[in-house]
Structure 1
Amino acid sequence: MYKTLKLFLASIIALILTLTLQAHVSACTYEATTTGKLLEFRITSDIDKLAVIQYIPTNGASQKVVRLSSPDIGISWNYYSDNSIPSCGSFNGNGVLACNQQNSNGAYWSNEHPSGNYYSLPDGIYVIEFDVSPDINNIKIEYGIMPGTYSPYNWTFCTRTGDIVLPTPTPLPITKTVFAPGLMASWNADAILNCKSETNTEWVLAPYAEDVYNPIITAMRENGWDTLPFYYDWRKPVAENSDRLASFLNSDIFVPNEKVNFVGHSMGGLVGRGYLDASDGSKLESMLTVGTPNAGSAYAYPPWEGGEIWSNNLLEKIALTIYLRHCGATKQNLMEIIHQEVPSLQDLLPTHPYLKRIKTDSEYLPNVSENRNTWLNGLGSDSKGVRLGYLAGTGFETVETIQTKDPNKKDTNQGLWADGKPAGKFTSILGDGTVLSSSATLPNSSWNAIINQTHRGLVNSSEGMGKILEFLGTPDINVNSTNIDIHEPNSALVMVGYPANFVVSDQDGKTKQDKDGMVSFVDPRKGLYKINILSKSENTLFIVAQFLPNGEVKYKEYNFKGVGPKFKTVKFDPQNPKDDILTH
Structure 2
Amino acid sequence: MHTKIIIYIFALLLVITVRIQNVYAATNWIKYSSYPVLSIGPLESWDSNAAASPSILFDGSIYKMWYMGYDGSKWRLGYASSNDGLSWIKYDNYILESTDISNYINVHNPSVTYNNNEYLLWYAASDKTINRIHINYSKSDDGLNWQSSVQEVLKPDYPWESFGNKGISFPRVIINNNTYYIWYGAYGEYNGKVNWRIGHATSTDGINWTKYPEPVLEADQNWENTAGRFGLGNPNVIVENGIYHMWYHADRDIGHATSPDGIHWMKDPDNPVLSPSYNPNTFDYQRVGDPFVIKKDDIYYMFYTGLDNNGRWQIGLATSESIPTPIISPTPISATPSIAPSPSLTPNPTLTITPSITVTPTILPTVTMNPRNKPLVIVPGLGASWNPKAIFSCNLQNSGEWKLAPYAYYAYKPLMRTLSENAHLTQDKDFYLYSYDWRNDLQTQAIDFKKYIDDILSKKPEGTKINLIGHSYGGLVIRSYLNNYPGTDKVDKVITVGTPHKGSILAYPLWENGEVWMNDIFMSVSVNQVINHCRIVRTFISPSINIPKILSKKEIVHLLIPSIENLLPTYDYLKKERKIIDTFTLKNQNLWLKTHIFNKNGYPHTTFITLSGANTKTIRYLNTIDITSKYRQNTAWEDGKPTIKEYSQEGDGSVLTLSSELEGVQNDIIAGNHGDIISKKEAIKKILSYVGFDNVLSITEETSAPESDNNLVISIDHHAKLQLTTPNLDSIISDDDIIAINNPKQGVYRLKITPYTKGLAYIHIMQLTKNTEPEYNNYAMYFNPENPINFTFPYYSNQIRGLKLIPVN
TM class, shorter-length: 0.5 to 0.7
1:264 aligned partner:
470
The answer (yes or no) to whether the contact 1:181–1:267 under 8 Å persists in 2 is: yes
Tell me the amino acid that sits aligned with residue 363 of structure 1. I
Q: Taking structure 1 as reference, are residues 408 and 244 closer, same or farther at Cα in structure 2, changes over 3 Å only?
A: same
Secondary structure, counterpart of 1:183 in structure 2: coil
Task: Give, in whole Å, the separation in 1 of the partners of 2:703 and 2:415.
Answer: 10
Kept in 1, the 8 Å contact 2:795–2:803? The answer is no
Name the residue aligned to 1:241. 445
Counterparts of 1:63-78 in structure 2, within 5 Å, are: none
Q: 1:473 aligns with which of 683, 692, 700?
A: 692
Distance 1:332 1:202, change over 3 A: closer
Q: Which of residues 340, 352, 359 in structure 1 aligns to 2:571?
A: 352
After TM superposition, the structure 1 = structure 2 runs for residues 209-224 of structure 1, keeping only pairs within 5 Å, are 209-222=408-421, 223-224=423-424
Of the structure 1 ranges 287-296 and 447-456, higher mean CA displacement relative to structure 2 is found in 447-456
Whether the 8 Å CA contact 1:287–1:386 is kept in 2: the answer is yes
The aligned residue for residue 486 of structure 1 is 705
Q: Distance in 1 between matches of 2:566 and 2:532?
A: 22
Rounded Cα–Cα distance in structure 2 between residues aligned with 1:257 and 1:491: 49
Question: What amino acid sits opposite 1:224 in the alignment?
Answer: H
How far apart are the structure 1 equivalents of 2:440 and 2:463?
29
Aligned pair partner of 1:194 in 393, 396, 406: 393
Deviations 1:204-245 (A, max 9, x none): 111221212222222222323432111111111022112111
Match for residue 501 of structure 1 among 706, 721, 724: 721
Q: Distance in 2 between matches of 1:245 and 1:453?
A: 29
How many Å separate the matches in 1 of 2:705 and 2:509? 27
- 1:293 Cα offset (Å): 0.5
For 1:532, the aligned partner's letter is K
Please say if residues 720 and 735 of structure 2, whose CA atoms lie closer than 8 Å, have aligned partners that are also in contact: no
Matches within 5 A, 1:40-51: none
Structure-1 separation of matches of 2:511 and 2:771: 23
CA contact (8 A) 1:270 1:292 kept: yes
Residue in 2 that maps onto 1:164? none
User: 1:570 aligns to what?
Assistant: 793
* CA distance 1:269–1:548, shift in 2 (3 Å): same
1:289 aligns with 2:489: no
* Contact 2:414/2:701, CA 8 A, preserved across alignment: no
Question: Does structure 2 retain, via aligned residues, the 8 Å contact 1:289–1:442?
Answer: no
Deviation at 1:504, TM superposition (A): 2.1
Moved over 6 A (4+): none
Q: How does 1:126-137 map to 2 (within 5 A)?
A: none
1:356-415, Cα deviation, whole Å (9 max, x unpaired): 2114x343115355x111111122422232111000011112111221221111111211
Q: Distance in 2 between matches of 1:266 and 1:386?
A: 19
Say whether residues 1:459 and 2:678 are aligned partners: yes
Q: Distance in 2 between matches of 1:300 and 1:276?
A: 23
Query: What is the alpha-carbon distance in structure 2 between the residues aligned to residue 534 and residue 176 of structure 1?
Result: 40
Given residue 276 of structure 1, which amino acid in structure 2 is its aligned partner? Answer: L
Aligned with residue 559 of structure 1, among 761, 767, 780: 780
Task: Give the whole-Å Cα distance in 2 for the aligned partners of 1:172 and 1:429.
Answer: 37
8 Å CA contact retained: 1:235, 1:342: yes
Matched to 1:581, the amino acid is: K
SS of 1:503's equivalent in the other structure is: strand
Match of 1:76 in 2: none
Shift of 1:182: 0.7
Distance 1:200 1:318 in 2: 18
Asked if the contact 1:281–1:384 (Cα under 8 Å) also holds between the matched residues in 2, the reply is: no
* One-letter amino acid of the counterpart of residue 798, structure 2: Q
Distance in 2 (CA, whole Å) between partners of 1:583 and 1:424 is: 39
Q: Tell me the equivalent position of 2:42.
A: none
Are 2:663 and 1:443 equivalent residues in the alignment?
yes
Contact 1:215/1:484 (<8 A) preserved: no
| Change beyond 3 A, Cα 1:282–1:570 | farther
1:540 equivalent to 2:761? Answer yes
Give percent identity, aligned residues only: 29
Q: 1:432 is matched with which residue?
A: 652
Q: Is the contact between residue 499 and residue 541 of structure 1 (CA under 8 Å) also seen in structure 2?
A: no
Give the distance between the partners of 1:413 and 1:333, measured in 2 at CA.
11
| In 2: Cα distance, 1:356 partner to 1:448 partner | 29
Aligned pair in 2 of structure 1 residues 252, 303: CA closer, same or farther (>3 Å)?
A: closer
- Residue 364 of structure 1 is matched in structure 2 by 582
Scaled by the length of structure 2, the TM-score of the pair is 0.49
Alignment of 1:7-18 (within 5 A): none
Tell me, yes or no, if structure 1 residue 413 matches structure 2 residue 636: no
Flag structure 2 segments of 5+ consecutive residues without an equivalent.
Answer: 1-369, 540-549
Q: Give the whole-Å Cα distance in 2 for the aligned partners of 1:336 and 1:550.
A: 22
Please name the residue that 2:169 is paired with: none
Q: Does 1:315 align with 2:522?
A: yes
Instruction: Write the mapping of 1:323-338 to structure 2, written as runs, cut at 5 A.
Output: 323-329=530-536, 330=539, 331-338=550-557
Q: Which moved more, 1:299-308 or 1:328-337?
A: 328-337
Question: Quick check: 2:475–2:496 contact (8 Å CA) kept in 1?
Answer: yes
- Of residues 473, 479, 482 in structure 2, which corresponds to 1:276? 482
Separation in 1 of the partners of 2:780 and 2:375? 44
Corresponding residue to 2:611 among 391, 404, 419: 391
Q: Which residue of 2 aligns with 1:185?
A: 384
> Which of 1 and 2 has greater Rg?
1
User: Structure 1 residue 425: deviation in Å?
Assistant: 2.3
Q: What's the offset of the Cα at 1:311?
A: 4.1
Q: Secondary structure at the match of 1:438?
A: helix
Q: CA deviation at 1:577?
A: 5.2
* Displacement of 1:432: 0.6
CA separation in 2, counterparts of 1:390 and 1:546? 34
Aligned residues: 411
Give distance in 2, aligned partners of 1:487 and 1:517.
21
SS in 2 for 1:328: helix
Sort the Cα spacing of 1:224 and 1:506 in 2 relative to 1 into closer, same or farther, 3 A: same
Q: Aligned in 2, Cα 1:405/1:515: closer, same or farther, shift over 3 Å?
A: same
Aligned residue in 1 for 2:505: 298
Matched, 1:401 2:621: yes
Match of 1:208 among 407, 416, 422: 407
Q: Per-residue CA shift, 1:81-134, capped at 9, x if unaligned?
A: xxxxxxxxxxxxxxxxxxxxxxxxxxxxxxxxxxxxxxxxxxxxxxxxxxxxxx
Deviations 1:11-35, CA, capped at 9 Å, x for gaps? xxxxxxxxxxxxxxxxxxxxxxxxx
Given that residues 314 and 490 in structure 1 are in contact (C-alpha distance below 8 angstroms), is that contact kept between their aligned partners in structure 2?
no
Q: Residue 523 and residue 471 in structure 1: after superposition, are their counterparts in 2 closer, same or farther (change >3 A)?
A: same
Following the alignment from structure 2 to structure 1, what is the Cα–Cα distance between the partners of residues 728 and 575? 50
**Which whole-Å CA distance do the structure 1 matches of 2:688 and 2:371 have between them?**
20
- CA separation of 1:533/1:480 partners in 2, compared to 1, >3 Å: closer, same or farther? same
2:241 is aligned to none
Does the C-alpha gap of structure 1 residues 357 and 411 become closer, same or farther in structure 2, counting only changes over 3 Å?
A: same
- Residues of 1 paired with 2:633 and 2:434: CA distance? 41
1:281 CA drift (Å): 3.0
Offset of residue 172 of structure 1: 10
* Contact 2:722–2:735 under 8 Å retained in 1: no
- RMSD across aligned positions (CA): 2.1
The whole-number CA distance in structure 1 between the counterparts of 2:619 and 2:798 is 28
Q: Cα 1:481–1:545, aligned 2, differ >3 Å: closer, same or farther?
A: same
- Please name the residue that 1:46 is paired with: none
